[in-house]
A and B are shown apart, each in its own frame.
Chain A
Amino acid sequence: MVGSVKENGNFDVLIIGCGIVGATIARELSRYTMKTAVLERASDIPFGASRANSSMIHGGFDDEPGSAKAKFCPAGNRMYHTLCEELDFKLRKFGSFVCARGESEERHLKKLYEQGKANGTVGMEIISGQKLREKEPNTSPEITAALWCESGAIVNNFEATLAFIDNARQNGVSLYMETEVTAIIFDESRSSVRGVSTNRGNFYAPVIINASGVYADVISRMVGDDSFIIHPTRGEYFIFDKAVGNFVTSFLFSCPSKLGKGITVTHTADDNLLIGPTSVEQDDRENRNTTASGLDETFEGAARLVPGIPRNMAITTFAGVRANISTGDFYIKALERPLGFINVAGIKSPGFTSAPAIALYVTELIRENLGDVVKFEKDPAFVPERKHIPRFIDLSAGERQRLAASDPKWGQIVCRCESVTEAQVVEAIRRGARTVAAVKLWVRPGTGRCQGGFCAPRVVEILARELGVSPLEITRHGGNSHMLTSRTKEPILQDLPGAPL
């Protein structure tokens, strides 16, 4: 582009990517007076792997003692148990089982148990298949033993990611949506970073944190660090109607293989049933397609753990792409040259769990390596607590009555399946939702059994009204994903010669 480049001002820290990693780091830095900005490429949060995953807060027994994963996962797990209260997102302490069939897999359970002990995982026990079926009667009779982990928990991963960035913003962090980093700006000697160029102009800061998920290697190469490669790995999932949510009441793993943790079956934080993922490495970082064969594989894999899940009770399918990294472990490193650039890469499973602990570590990395360019002064105005938009579906009759009396919009149901009121949608928009998908991630209209059949026209109408735009401008998820193409009659009038349009 020739001519004027938009200058978006000076910050202390720029975070590239607003997945769970970017959001937790932003929230951690918002404790200090420094100026932080988060740049997110997508139109809704969360968008990448933080959006499409198994929503598990892992106990921490999966990873080799001594690895970064083994260090951050159990620590993150402990943090989530208090953060969910502080930041008001749904975390449900269902516990998890790793299910084994036969002796060789049972030996593996023992290995996981020992690993967990070394890593500091709490609440583990190996139980018989029969004991498992007493707790989870729908599990396969072929399962001979299981590793119970009491500290395994399920979050609403949309709510959790939004909670961190919402609180960060309340504490002064700036968030720029649909902002894609195209280049890094250096000082003259290229010895330190000065900022980034984006499709929306330049942002300046002496510290840049690369939390860009599947694009981490692309961004890293912009500063000349090609020490790792991201192998995007796609996984397909099904979500089932709440009517069969109680098929299981915890999180069930197969015994892990080389390919990953395999297909899991879980009762979600919102009482649906979730199965997946498959694991297919691909070159394309954007391909989030489901496939007929992948969906079959998902379903068959789940049936090995829990036979009899009724496939016709599925309400939707989706795929996520996780950032498998060539180095295997999490790759978190502050570069010496250019100074100011920190990679936080390869944060795949148990990445969501580890994120809050990683955020603490990254904060320390900045303090140690860049303490002279960024001041760490506690912000006296920092408020650690934040409230989610009240979830009407979970409120008591008295609380519902109180809210409905306070504002008629609390008495207006927009989404029948999930009992979402107009007030919730309006508040989601006030807090930054701009698309139908973003509203859905915030307050769940369209996540129920009718999948937006009833609420989609209403959500479009409310978005248009609140944003002061035409309904024709409202998109499903940004870009060209317009929900509607024209007013009625327009296509006919356009065809008439000399039509007044």
Chain B
Amino acid sequence: MSDGGSIVDVAVIGGGPAGIAAAIAARKEGARKVVVYERDWEAGGILQQCIHPGFGLHMFGEELTGPEYMDRYLKQAKEAGVEFALNTMVFQMDPPNETDDGRRSASFWVMNPNTGIERVRAKSVVLAMGCRERPAGALGIAGTRPAGVYTAGTAQRFVNMEGLMPGKKVVIMGTGDIGLIMARRMVLEGAEVVAVFEIMPWVSGLRRNIAQCLDDFGIPYYLEHSVRELHGRDRLEGISVVQIGKDRKPIDGTERFIGCDTLLLAVGLIPENELSRMAGIELEASTNGPAVNELLQTSAECVFAAGNVVVVYDLVDFVSEAGERAGSSAALYALGKLGKGPREFAVETTPNIRVVSPQKLCGARDTTVFLRVAEPIEGRCKLYAEPGIFSQTLRYARPGEMNEVKIDAQKLRALPGDVKSIKIGLEAVK
């Protein structure tokens, strides 16, 4: 083990859309040695297996596939002089140390099959590890433990990356976007998709995916239904589904059997923060991601975070935008140019907002606060940030689609000194 290890200015952990955008921005901001550490053999993250179109409408004004979208960023990264350490897994992160000048710096451990294990020291770090899928076990579905039960993303990898079919007759549990996308994908590959079930009274993915992936292919979906039991000892032979009542509990007597050889789960994504925990970074209970401000700075001042590791986004374009912000902040920190923000505000929300990010504001730059409502509001509603920061009327608000609150930094800074929090709320308009 080379104990000196390598020394970099900005280290980016994770080579998906957030990490690559962060690395490009860090180089543009003037950081010299910017390295992306990616555990897969190629950069691009989960987008490399997302071969369907629908990416880039905000960022490029056109509809791209996942690999096309990443290709554009990878070209930019090459031009910007970003370095990549591929097939390199960060397996341990130390709590950031105080350096001689009273600032902090980060260190972590990487492993690569060819170069072995090495310690990396970095002036600043961008966490961009993304998220993972909630597994079947977490749902506590009763019954057997057969082959043929996969998360939608695992099935997507089998089909799109390896050319292998996980099954022929499919049921999908959950209306998360990957589940909807995989419903269409399995049909296109010749499988039969029997139905999609959702435990909540509303769809959790994007409406456009319901239209394009289910309706266009005649795949039925049922709200307030859940899988109660798996059948089949070797391969899955069927499932029992049950209707869910208004109390969110199964309604006895509504159970029915559906024959299938495959169950795909799209029941939620969990930010992947094992490294953040090791480094002692403060996490936010509502998002399961690091608590950050609009500079995307975490509780450890030299560590920044962006993308789905912070909060699960609906569109990759927003992930890239967050990556840019985090990369720029991390570069400024590495160059000794990132001061403390002029003010400190906590972001508070009304109870009908389930997720908000960032949860802190410092007034350093204009920014967008992203939020998800707890339940759909079908009809006009007012989204606001008080006192007097932002107000907008929406046609509707749905949990599957994030809402944006634009924050003008000047307005924030001009608030009276005794204002310590910003309240973001949403209310129906008559």
Contact = CB atoms under 8 A, between A and B. Distances in A.
A456 B156 CA distance: 12
Nearest to B162: A457
Contact of B154 (A400, A412, A453, A494): A453
B52 interface: no
Given A457-B162, A486-B168, A481 B147 contact: yes
A495 B133 contact: no
A481 B166 CA distance: 12
B165 A484 contact: yes
Interface in B203-220: none
A476 B146 contact: yes
Contacts of B9: none
Contact of A488 (B132, B164, B233): B164
B137 A457 contact: no
Contacts of A223: none
Task: Indicate the member of B158, B164, B229 with the most A CB atoms within 10 Å.
Answer: B164
B138 A485 contact: no
Contacts of A488: 159, 163-165, 189
A484 B166 contact: yes
B109 A397 contact: yes
A489 B262 CA distance: 17
A476 B261 CA distance: 14
A259 interface: no
Contacts of B136: 316, 451
Contacts, number: 158
B30 interface: no
Given A461-B162, A476-B147, A413 B135 contact: no
Interface stretch (B99-107, B110-118, B294-302): B110-118
B285 to A, nearest CB: 12
Contacts of A419: 91
A248 to B, nearest CB: 20
Contacts of A479: 233-234
A336 B111 CA distance: 61
Given A487-B163, A492-B190, A316 B235 contact: no
B189 A492 contact: yes
B345 interface: no
A479 B146 CA distance: 11
A290 interface: yes
Interface in A281-308: 286, 288-292, 294-295
Interface in A366-410: 397-398, 400-401, 404-405, 408-410
B352 to A, nearest CB: 22
B142 A485 contact: no
A486 B153 CA distance: 18
Interface string B144-171: 1111001101100111011111111000
B279 interface: no
A133 interface: no
A289 B113 contact: no
Given A450-B132, A481-B235, A482-B235, A315 B159 contact: no
Contact of A290 (B87, B138, B143, B164): B143
B116 A404 contact: yes
A475 interface: yes
A246 B30 CA distance: 45
B113 A311 contact: no
B140 interface: yes
Given A411-B117, A453-B151, A457-B157, A491 B135 contact: no
A189 interface: no
Contacts of A316: 135-137
B123 interface: no
B233 to A, nearest CB: 7
A487 B137 contact: no
A456 B1 contact: no
A409 B114 CA distance: 9
B405 interface: no
Contacts of B398: none
A453 B268 CA distance: 13
A471 interface: yes
A472 interface: yes
A484 B140 contact: no
A401 B190 contact: no
Interface in B253-286: 261-262
Contacts of A413: 39, 89, 91, 111
Contact of A485 (B113, B145, B161, B168): B168
B228 interface: yes
Contacts of A486: 164-165, 168
A166 B151 CA distance: 34
Contacts of A409: 113
Contacts of A411: 111-117
Contacts of B87: 412
A454 interface: yes
A228 interface: no
A412 B136 CA distance: 26
A317 interface: yes
B171 to A, nearest CB: 15
Nearest to B230: A289
Interface string A466-501: 000001100111111111111111111111000000
A495 B117 contact: no
Given A292-B229, A453-B151, A400 B146 contact: no
Contacts of A401: 1, 116-117
B150 A489 contact: no
B4 to A, nearest CB: 14
Nearest to B111: A411
B196 to A, nearest CB: 19
A318 interface: yes
A314 interface: yes
A412 B147 contact: no
B132 A397 contact: no
B353 interface: no
Interface string B366-384: 0000000000000000000
Nearest to A400: B117
A408 B113 contact: yes
A4 interface: no
B369 to A, nearest CB: 27
A227 interface: no
Task: Indicate the member of A288, A452, A494 with the most B CB atoms within 10 Å.
Answer: A452
Contacts of B113: 404, 408-412
A312 interface: yes
Contact of B189 (A457, A480, A491): A491
A486 B166 CA distance: 8
B195 interface: no
A318 B142 contact: no
B138 to A, nearest CB: 6
Contacts of B190: 489-495
Contacts of B89: 413, 416
B84 to A, nearest CB: 17
B169 to A, nearest CB: 9
B47 interface: no
A96 to B, nearest CB: 26
A239 B145 CA distance: 14
Given A289-B144, A411-B111, A453 B117 contact: no
Contacts of B164: 471-472, 484, 486-488
14 contacts: A289-B142, A314-B138, A412-B87, A413-B89, A449-B135, A451-B136, A457-B161, A476-B234, A485-B168, A486-B164, A489-B189, A491-B165, A493-B190, A494-B190
Given A452-B135, A475-B234, 15 more contacts: A290-B143, A411-B111, A411-B112, A411-B116, A413-B39, A449-B135, A451-B137, A453-B153, A457-B157, A475-B147, A477-B234, A480-B234, A483-B166, A484-B164, A484-B167
A-B pairs with the 8 shortest C-beta distances? A491-B190, A316-B137, A408-B113, A476-B147, A451-B135, A492-B190, A411-B113, A481-B234
Interface of A: 238-239, 286, 288-292, 294-295, 311-312, 314-318, 397-398, 400-401, 404-405, 408-413, 416, 419, 436, 449-454, 456-457, 461, 471-472, 475-495
